[in-house]
A and B are shown apart, each in its own frame.
Chain A
Amino acid sequence: GAGAVYGLGREALPQEIAAWDVDIMPDGSGLPEGSGSVRDGEMLFSQNCAVCHGEFAEGVGNWPPLAGGDGTLADEDPVKTIGSYWPYLSTVWDYVHRSMPYGAAQTLSDDEVYAITAYILYSNFLVESDFVLSDENFTEVEMPNADGFIVDDRPETEYVKWRTEPCMENCKDEVEITMRATILDVTPEDEAEAET
């Protein structure tokens, strides 16, 4: 095509693209050849992941749980995990592969990522303990909340309502304070003050 108006930059080499372009699409495209079992994943998870995410992917302290929370999305306090919330398995593989373990990202081999992904599925009761995940059966796995997302609908549900001339006078009969931040008392104190 046209392009190259300024002739700046140089052509990217295939090896360079392969090194950086590792994203996986929901249809599985981008996945490398490979496989990993729940059993191998259990061991790898224990070694690389459990210190933050728990032996059963249930989460430790304030670190994210990766399993559990099924059916809680409409609750007062939803528990959003891979099993209860994430729509695509591709995102699990992709994110673990490129950004985990936290502090030592991009240190897992492709087969290790398949195994850990298999173990996370097992922890969410989505596969049996003898399951082996590979690039060939990857797209057969269905995530429970795959249909749980809608594209931003604010134009229809909000903007049409709120693009009107607002009230300026006598807008309410009464105003009462219903909640106060100082009751919760969770705002950080000025550190200098705290020391004196």
Chain B
Amino acid sequence: MTQSFKGPTPSRRQFLSGAAAAGAGAVAASASGAATPDPKITELQPWATGFGEGVDATPYGMPIEFEDHVIRRNVEWLTADTISSINFTPIHALDGTITPQGCAFERHHSGAIELRKEDYRLMINGLVDRPLVFSYWDLERLPREQHVYFCECAANSGMEWAGAQLNGAQFTHGMIHNMEYTGVPLRTLLQEAGLEAAGDLEDKWIYVEGHDASSNGRSIPMSKAMDDVLVAFKANGEALRKEHGYPVRLVVPGWEGNMWVKWLRRVEVTDAAVESREETSKYTDVLEDGTARKWTWEMDAKSVITSPSPQAPIQHGPGPLVITGLAWSGHGAITRVDVSKDGGKTWETARLAQPGDPKAVARFYLDTTWEGEELLLQSRAIDETGYVQPTKAQLREVRGLNSIYHNNAIQTWHVKTNGEAENVEVS
């Protein structure tokens, strides 16, 4: 990661062209009275007289072309290549809580592999009574559960530790997706293999790894494995996408995305943590004195305003304004989100679109009026444990600047009088 990269002139142009295109129509439509009749109403439009597409045109559809900005984006300078890399969910353009799979972020360490169900095997071994091999279809014969959970990369917002760097919620907070999973509790598979051999489960671990070359091996305490970990094969109603672990991935509710092992191939019961590369060199968090935290599994309560934001400026002029965003916590359900328009001097409690679900994303709205003044927008999540999302200053006071992972600080957007928004830090 470097801060010295100097890219081409970024979002300002994008903002200006976008604003110009949307501006005229939007303003005209919202005016209290029209001087001349609107030809979109008075003239016959082609779609109102001719045909649209037949039902055989698109057996599996993509979004309409006018939404072609709602896509995953890569930040080239973050990593050495695109194979062990990250891209970002366009959260600035989405609403509700479910992430469309086609634009849900990806993080691979040796690329998105293609693995047929016919070639899929899942091994359970180690301190079990009978080491087992399951086929994909064996998994479909076991009792299933369904849950909605967020998967947030441990490094989400990691580039923002030292200061405001990337200009858009997609880039600062988009290493996250939230899906409805169907799968088999890992507990069921472990019990099928038998855990008598493991003895006291209190001090036991599992080690999980993927079919891909990176393997992404991670150690998980047995208590979590027996609690809510899912071996999932469906997301948002359909099979997992290739890039999200097709045909089978691990779902580890509330815990850092790295542990959600994709293309899951093996679960080993062990009497200690393996201390693999992904839990020593990576996914350990350096503190100010040079020591590092390990096993920082939970993702703490966090939120971000997705609109207005740098990629979603206010284009409609003064008047009614919907401030909206996302909140989530690895410790349980979101119970409240507060929003500030003045950089944290005063706060008002926003409205949750639905009651928060445990370890899932919640959508919040603050319906307000904008008079065209400058805003310093912030959101602050509170979860069912009473944990209040901290400021970046609070986090830095405990951790310093080099933790890389687990940045759940309050984000500030500076909205200017023309409606343009910028990623800033405030005192």
Residues of A within 8 A of B (CB): 1-6, 8-12, 16-17, 20-21, 23-27, 52, 61-64, 73-74, 76-78, 80, 82, 85-88, 90-91, 94-95, 98-99, 102-103, 105-106, 148-154, 157-159, 161-172, 174-182, 184-190, 192-194
Contacts and interface: CB of A to CB of B under 8 A. Distances in A.
A52 B84 CA distance: 14
15 contacts: A4-B130, A21-B123, A63-B80, A73-B291, A102-B83, A149-B291, A168-B338, A177-B414, A179-B424, A182-B167, A185-B6, A187-B75, A189-B14, A190-B69, A193-B17
Contacts of A188: 7, 10, 73-76, 171
Contacts of B129: 1, 3
Nearest to A61: B80
Given A23-B209, A74-B288, 18 more contacts: A8-B134, A8-B141, A20-B125, A26-B272, A86-B280, A87-B280, A103-B213, A154-B298, A163-B385, A168-B347, A174-B427, A177-B426, A182-B12, A186-B165, A186-B166, A187-B171, A188-B73, A188-B76
Main secondary structure of the interface of A (DSSP, over half): loop
A25 B7 CA distance: 43
B268 A187 contact: no
Nearest to A193: B14
B94 interface: no
Nearest to A2: B194
Nearest to A101: B213
Contacts of A187: 7, 10-11, 75, 166-168, 171, 310
Contact of A16 (B10, B133, B295, B426): B133
Interface stretch (B35-43, B49-57, B387-395): B387-395
Contacts of B109: 99
A20 B125 CA distance: 10
Contacts of B418: none
Contact of B5 (A63, A78, A186): A186
Instruction: Select the residue from B195, B209, B347, B424 with max chain A CB neighbours within 10 A.
Output: B424
Contact of B296 (A87, A91, A152, A177): A152
Interface size class of B (residues with CB under 8 A): 35 or more
A181 B17 contact: no
B217 to A, nearest CB: 6
B300 interface: yes
Contact of A186 (B7, B214, B343): B7
Interface string B4-33: 011111111110010000000000000000
Contact of B310 (A62, A181, A192): A181
A170 B345 contact: yes
B294 A150 contact: yes
B361 to A, nearest CB: 20
Contacts of B165: 181, 184, 186
Contact of B291 (A95, A150, A180): A150
A25 B132 CA distance: 22
B304 to A, nearest CB: 14
A5 B130 CA distance: 13
B297 A1 contact: no
B98 interface: no
Nearest to A167: B347
A166 B3 contact: no
Contacts of A179: 163-164, 424-425
B346 interface: yes
A11 B130 contact: yes
B13 to A, nearest CB: 6
A174 B265 CA distance: 55
Contacts of B123: 12, 16-17, 20-21
Nearest to A176: B427
B200 interface: no
Contact of B286 (A78, A164, A168): A78
A154 B133 contact: no
Nearest to B190: A3
Given A86-B281, A188-B10, A9 B398 contact: no
B142 A181 contact: no
Contacts of A1: 129, 194-197
A157 B134 CA distance: 43
B317 interface: no
Contacts of B332: none
Interface string B266-282: 10101010111100110
Interface in B66-85: 68-69, 73-77, 79-80, 83-84
B345 A172 contact: yes
B237 interface: no
Given A95-B277, A172-B344, A189 B426 contact: no
Nearest to B278: A95
A172 B12 contact: no
Contacts of A162: 387-388, 390, 394
Contacts of A21: 123, 125-126, 266, 268
